[in-house]
Amino acid sequence: MEQFATEEQQVEAIKRFWKDNGTAIIFGAILGLGGLWGWRYYDESQITAKETASAAYNDMIQTLASDDRVAATQDFIANNNDTAYVALAGFIGAQAAVEADDYAKAAELLQQIIVSTADTTLQNVARVRLARVQLQLTQYGEAITTLDAITGTAFTAQQEAIRGDVLVAQGDLSGARDAYVRSLAAQDDQSVQMRLDDLANQMASNAS
């Protein structure tokens, strides 16, 4: 599970931020930034829905010590329409599914996040995780397609490291080497360097 650490830290920060500040941000946007964000179109029922989603999310967080965290998050997702909270619940459920070795369920939840939110950061975190899950499912072509859909440069190191892992699994050692080099150029990571070194040894052995 260590392979999820970087994105987990990112999502945990987002979760804490929304749990502590989500409702205040929503109301602040409604009151002060209506013209900019279009919140002027929100009526009383929509504000109430936001409050309800926030309360339901907090309730779900409190129940995550239960044996079936996947079911708890799926129930929340099915009964709430707020995309920010649904995305966060999806990450929790996907992580629980991975811990239970249910990679198919994890892939389903991560794909749901990608289509349910317009937030590119959440989408990219979901795609990074989805590509790793697809690697576990030996869905190599799908994993490459998922990686190619990641936008911006903030995730390049993780994106290319996973690409390297996928290419190794496919037997494309030269392509994997290039991907690891790109990953290291974006961010120094000892684990990626170790994979690159092992790969170099393997390529040298194959050549001899």
Query: Which pLDDT score is estimated for 18?
Result: 57
Among 132, 151, 170, the domain boundary falls at 151
* 69, 133: one domain: yes
Q: Is the overall model pTM greater than 0.85, yes or no?
A: no
Return the closest-CA partner of residue 53 out of 92, 13, 91, 26: 26
* 134, 163: one domain: no
* 99, 9: one domain: yes
Higher-pLDDT residue of 73, 134? 134
* 67, 47: one domain: yes
> pLDDT of 164-208, one tens digit each?
999 999 999 999 999 999 999 999 999 999 999 999 998 888 887
* 96, 195: one domain: no
Higher-pLDDT residue of 145, 13? 145
Among 151, 169, 194, the domain boundary falls at 151
* 45, 141: one domain: yes
Q: Is the pLDDT of residue 2 over 90?
A: no
Domain residues for the domain of 188 are: 152-208
* Number of independent structural domains in the chain: 2
Query: Which pLDDT score is estimated for 183?
Result: 95
Among 104, 136, 151, the domain boundary falls at 151
* 143, 158: one domain: no
| Torsion angle, alpha carbons of 175, 177, 179, 180, to 10 | 160
Dist CA 129 CA 22 (whole Å) = 24
Mean pLDDT of 117-124: 88
* 26, 77: one domain: yes
Query: Which pLDDT score is estimated for 87?
Result: 79
Mean pLDDT of 105-127: 90
* 129, 168: one domain: no
Q: CA distances (Å), 26 to each of 18, 22, 50, 80, 127, in order?
A: 10, 6, 8, 16, 26
In degrees and rounded to multiples of 5, residue 118 shows phi and psi of -95, 0
